[in-house]
Amino acid sequence: MATVEKLQEHLKTTQSKLAEATKKADAGEVRKQKKKTKRLARKASKISAAEKMVELKKKKKKDRKATSE
């Protein structure tokens, strides 16, 4: 499974490729890179949210409610 750090690296390279494609005005490539950027961003945020939920589940229910307020 990919780590958040690796996903962030891939996201940065994809964003740079997207910037280059917009300069060239290649519509197909721009669309492809935008989709890839969004997908990688969603995947990275999903993994980090899952890790956060695991940390919250370790706490007692009263403590979880206190931190959310």
Q: Which helix (H) or strand (E) holds 68?
A: helix 61-68
Per-residue 3-state assignment (H helix, E strand, C coil) for 4-42: HHHHHHHHHHHHHHHHHHHHHCCHHHHHHHHHHHHHHHH
pTM of the complete model: 0.67
pLDDT digits (tens, 9 = 90+) for 4-52: 888 888 889 988 988 888 888 778 888 888 898 899 889 888 988 988 8
pLDDT at 29: 84
Ordered by start, the domain boundaries in the chain are: 39-69
Residue 68, pLDDT > 80, answer no
